[in-house]
Structure formats: structure tokens, C-alpha cells
Amino acid sequence: MATVGYSTAQRITQPGVKAFLASPVKKLLINNRWVDARSGRTFEIVDPTTEDVLARAAEGDAADVDAAVDAARTAFEGPWGRLPVAERARYLLRFAAAIEANLDELAELESLNNGQTLATAKAMITEGAVGALHFYAGSAVSIHGETPATDESFFNYSLREPIGVCAGIIPWNVPIPMAVWKIAPALAAGNTVIIKPAEQTPLTAVRLGELLLETGIPDGVVNIVTGFGPGAGSAIAEHPGIDKVAFTGSTEVGRSILRASTGNLKRVTLELGGKSPNVVFADANMAAAVPTALAGFSLNSGQICAAGTRILVQRDAHDEFVETLTRYAGGLTLGDPLDPASDMGPLSSKEQFERVTGYLDVGKAEGARATTGGSPADGRGYFVEPTVFVDVDNDMRIAREEIFGPVVSVIPFTDENDAVLQGNDTSYGLAAAVWTNDLGRAHRVARRLKAGSVWVNNYYTNDLSLPFGGYKQSGVGREHGSNWYEHYTEVKSVYVKL
Ligand code: ADP
Ligand code: MG
């Protein structure tokens, strides 16, 4: 039902995408020039909908990271680090305008490379990327130190200064917003940056590099090094010339980045996995709770770190909830993500397809039952049906490990305390939701759930004015929020004797 019977070339509609893919080997952006990897090596980029090769990209490794660090360091020591905030912000606004002007093209390219639907791509680019550039352009002026009134014979104050060369290692699930979430705060605070996109989905990062050049940004301020995790990624994590790494990806790789950072004690922020509980009380507005729970594990084919993959439902409401959720999930249309009739595209890569289908087998072997889905779709493309597992115990692997696909476990609970205990019974703590019409209970449960974001009667809302990140093994530090610059600046205390 899901597979498309035509080639990638036949799917492309945007002239800009055709033009971009007409030069099929993408290079590294170092010091505002497009260059091959020093090794001359390249790797294949695959369209997950057709399994055709879309293009190739330069396989950057340690030697290319060295060159990027040199460029970023020179740029930082040049005027960039001392530019007035308003001038730095102007580049962010120009970048935002360039993204908006090329929205249709960027969304198509993102969808071709990553498999997300065009509607999802457009929403993510508009809210996640353009929105973030506007936020950071506006809040760059909010960076400030303190002037304590401690002693009249001194004038003491603190300064917030850029850290230096920052790097962003980013995942494949929402490539454009993830690149912007690393570029924008780094530049707003006066740092320079090196971006390493995921090897599965580097194309839109390369296109963003082209758009950045159109803004007139000075040489070396943003560098883009495509390549693999163990090559380019670990070279970044270990590099003595990089002052800060911001990483979004798996908890396992996050640990290795933290370990690798100890050489020069670089600053590290980590945005990692989740197994977020979506807690539904029997008194909830089910007309909103059920479709939102569906989106919570099927948007972007479930490949979102904050996905609500454990739905905890109060026992009295459990069976009816499962029946409705099953019907809605079974009604989703899998297909070509460029076709507006498709609700879900394929998973982003073959590895991901194998991982998710592996978990479908694990769930069945553990005694869980799929009320809908439970299998990959036949034929070409990495399509997996949305899957609802019941008869799940919170101790099963499918309830404990991050699957990163359209697979949800529904688990019953008895009362408020049981909901909180099961919700918190996880090594993760990225997000959680609570659905109830009881105001007191909503706030009590929101307080007790150990998660970096808690949604009450909604899911996935993201306000950049508030911090985003995880408790426990879901991360280190936070992104966004009014204190965002703590992670992109050093602080200096100055003591002046009067
Ligand atoms: P997944 O396993 O879901 O692909 P990863 O955490 O492996 O997620 O990937 C996220 C990003 O981390 C990618 O850009 C990837 O290349 C990078 N990466 C993978 N392994 C390492 C590593 N050892 N050091 C640094 N970066 C890595
Ligand atoms: Mg990996």
C-alpha cells in the first residue's frame, strides 16, 4: 500500500531542488569556500521513500575538522567576536528571510532526504528554524552580566563573553531546525560554529550553507563538515581547538561525546533520547486527548525525541481509549511524503527501519499485542505501519528503550500516584503530558513528573522563551529559554577599586 512505483528523479517538482541536485557531489563549507574532503572520499545519500541514491557528500574526517577549526578560530579572533549585537542579529534575520524565500524548495529537499511529509517539513522549517532565528536575533540583546551593590569602595561587575569556537553535531530526524538550533544561539552570542549534519541527511545543511553565503556572513563564521559519527563527529568531540559542543542524538553517543570532551574540558550540552509518558486520566477530554496522543507518536513517523511513546491510561477509560486510538492509527495513510494525501512517510534510513522492525518483533516476543500495525509495509521504501501495543508492562523493553518510530505502548494505571510512579519509572526525562479536567490534579501531576517539558492537555508545544531539555539520561543543560546564553558564553567577574 505504501510503496511508490517510481523513481526519485520523477518525484522532484521544485526547480531549485533540481538545480541543487544537478551537481551530485556535495562539498564541505570551510572558510566560505566549498571544498572536497582532504581524503577525496564521498558517501551516498539515500532517498528513504524509493531507496534510490539522491546524491553524494564529501566524507569529512579529522583533517577536515582541523581545517574548519582553523577557519572558525581565525573568524572568531577577527572582528566577528567583537561585532555589535545588532550587526550579528542582522545576519540571523537575513538567514531567516533566505529560508522563508526558499521554503518550498527546502521543504521538498528535506522530505526527499529524510522522508517527512511536506506539511511536516514546512511546519518544522517555519516554526522550528525561522522562528528560532527570529528568537535569537531578538534575544541577542538580552545577554547581560550583573552589577552587585556590595561595597561602595568597589565597582564590581560581571561580563558575558562568547566562548569561542562552537560545534553542533546534529541528528537526522528534523535536520533543518536542528542545524538552526545550533547555529543561531552560537552566532547570537558572538561565537563561530562548525556544523556536522547526520550522515543520513546532510543535504539541507549544505543548502543552508549556500543560503548563509547569500547573507554575506564573513569567512569562517559558519563551517559545515559532512561525514560520519566515528570520523567527523568524534574528531569534533575530541578536538582541543573546539570550546563547546552542542549535541542532539542518542544517549549512547551523548555519553561518548561527554567522555571525549574531557581532553580540553570543552563545554557540552546534550539533547538526548526519551521515553515520554503521556498520562490520560478518565476525566480527560478524549476528543482532544486521543488524536493528540496519535500525533504524539506518529508525527514525523515517530522520529522525535520528545515523542509520547508510553501512553498511560486510567484503567476505567483504557479499553475505549485503545479502541479509538487503534481506529485512528489504522486510518493513517502511509505513502509518498510529497503527496499531500499521505499522513506519514517512510522512516529516514535503512538502519532506522531495521531498528524499528526489530522492536516490533521484541514487543511480540515479550507478550505485547499489536491492535493495529505491527509490521513493515511490503516493497521499496522504509515504511512501517503505525503500531499500537497493548498488554504492555512498563518493565518490557518496548516500554523502556527508545524505538524512534511510529510505535506506542498503552499501559493502564489505577490512580494519580500510580500514574506518577509509572511515568517516572524510566531512565529518561525529556517530556511528559497529563490530560485531565481536574485543575488541581493537572498541576500536582505536572510537578511530580520528572521531565524537562510537561504538557497539560496538549502535546509538542514548544515555546522558545522557555528552556527545552531533559532530566536524567535525556540530557545535560537546556536549549532556548531566557537563560539560553549561559550555555554559549563564558562569564567574567571584574573588580574595580574606586
Ligand atoms: P542514531 O543512532 O539515531 O543515528 P546518533 O546519536 O548515532 O543517532 O547520531 C546523531 C549524530 O551523532 C549524527 O550526526 C552522527 O553522525 C553523530 N555521531 C554518531 N556517533 C558519534 C560519535 N562517536 N562521536 C560524535 N558524533 C557521533
Ligand atoms: Mg548512531
Q: Is the pLDDT of residue 492 over 60?
A: yes
What number is the average pLDDT over the span 353-376? 97
Q: Is 168 left (phi over 0), alpha (psi -120 to 50) or beta?
A: beta
- List CB contacts of 432: < 8 A, sequence separation 6 or more: 276, 277, 278, 279, 423, 449, 451, 453, 454, 455
Q: Shortest CA distance to 428 belongs to which of 294, 308, 314, 268?
A: 308
The pLDDT, as a whole number, for residue 59 is 98
* CA trace torsion 393, 396, 402, 408 (10° rounding): -40
Across the chain, mean pLDDT equals 97
Q: What percent of the chain has pLDDT over 70?
A: 100
Q: What is the per-residue pLDDT for 126?
A: 98
100 is catalytic: no
Half-sphere exposure of 38 (CA within 13 A, CB side): 12
Q: Which residues pair with 453 in a beta bridge?
A: 431
- Per-residue confidence band for 92, with pLDDT thresholds at 50, 70 and 90: very high
CB 190 within 8 A of CB 160: no
Place of cell 522492536: 359
Looking at ligand 1, which residue's alpha carbon is closest to its atom 18?
229
**DSSP string over 65-78:** HHHHHHHHHHHHHT
Contact 165, 194 (CB under 8 A): yes
Rounded Cα distance between 174 and 153, Å, is 53
User: Which DSSP state fits 230?
Assistant: I
How much of the chain is helix, strand and coil, in % rounded to 5?
40, 20, 35
117: left (phi over 0), alpha (psi -120 to 50) or beta: beta
Q: Does domain 11-272+475-494 have CATH number 3.40.605.10?
A: yes
- Taking the centre of ligand 1 as the mean of its atom positions, its distance from the CA of residue 237, in whole angstroms, is 11
Q: Which atom of ligand 1 is nearest to the CA of 170?
A: 14
Cα 212 to Cα 218: distance, rounded to the nearest angstrom: 10
Cell of 59: 566524507
Which bound ligand lies closest to the C-alpha atom of 303?
A: 1
Residue with the smallest CA separation from ligand 1 atom 2 is: 250
Question: Does pLDDT of 3 surpass 80?
Answer: no
Structure confidence at residue 2 (pLDDT): 59
Q: Domain spanning 277-463 has what CATH number?
A: 3.40.309.10
Separation of first and last alpha carbons in the chain: 78
List, edge to edge, every strand of the sheet that includes 267-271. Answer: 33-35, 28-30, 222-224, 192-196, 165-169, 244-248, 267-271, 475-476
Ligand 2 centroid to 237 CA: how many Å?
Answer: 15
Taking a C-beta distance cutoff of 8 angstroms, is the pair 107, 125 a contact?
yes
Residue 11 pLDDT > 90: yes
What lies within 8 Å, CB to CB, of 218 at 6+ separation is 32, 75, 78, 79, 80
- Among 280, 290, 292, which Cα is nearest to 316's? 280
Rounded CA gap, 88 and 81, in Å? Answer: 9
pLDDT, position 377: 82
For 364-388, what is the mean pLDDT? 95
Q: Report the pLDDT averaged over residues 118-135.
A: 98
Rounded CA-CA distance 189/484 in Å is 10
Confidence of residue 231 (pLDDT cuts 50, 70, 90): very high
- The full set of domain ranges for the chain reads 11-272+475-494, 277-463
pTM above 0.85, yes or no: yes
Q: How far is the CA of 79 from the centre of ligand 1 (A)?
A: 33
Residue 267 clears pLDDT 60, i.e. is over it: yes
Helix axes 85-101, 131-139, angle to 10 degrees: 170
CA–CA gap between residue 180 and residue 148 (Å, rounded): 35
- Which ligand lies nearest the alpha carbon of 232? 1
244 CA to middle of ligand 1, Å? 17
Alpha helix ranges (H) inside 102-232: 103-114, 118-123, 131-139, 175-188, 203-214
Active-site residue flag, 166 = no
Pair 178, 171: CB distance under 8 Å:
yes
Residue 88 parent element (H or E): helix 85-101
Alpha carbon distance 425, 411 (integer Å): 13
To which H or E segment does residue 480 belong? strand 479-480
Ligand 1 pocket by Cβ (under 6 Å): 169-171, 196, 198-199, 228-230, 233-234, 237, 249-250, 253, 256-257
pLDDT (average), residues 124-144 = 97
Binning pLDDT at 50, 70 and 90, where does residue 461 land? very high
- Residue 422 has a pLDDT of 98
Q: How far is CA 423 from the centre of its chain?
A: 23
Do residues 170 and 196 touch, judged by C-beta distance below 8 A? yes
Kindly report the number of other CB atoms within 10 A of residue 403's CB atom: 27
Atom of ligand 1 nearest to the CA of 227: 16
Question: Residue 380: what are its φ and ψ, rounded to 5°?
Answer: -75, 155
Check whether 1 has a pLDDT greater than 70.
no
pLDDT at 192: 98
* Structure confidence by residue, pLDDT tens digits, 408-440: 999 999 999 999 999 999 999 999 999 999 999
- Give me ligand 1 centre to Cα 134, in Å: 28
- Report, as an integer, the average pLDDT of 214-240: 98
Q: Which ligand is nearest to the CA of 251?
A: 1
Give the whole-angstrom CA distance, residue 26 versus residue 137: 29
Residue range 29-71, pLDDT digits in tens: 999 999 999 999 999 999 999 999 999 999 999 999 999 999 9
Ligand 1 pocket mutation pick from 200, 251, 253 by most atoms within 8 angstroms of CB: 253
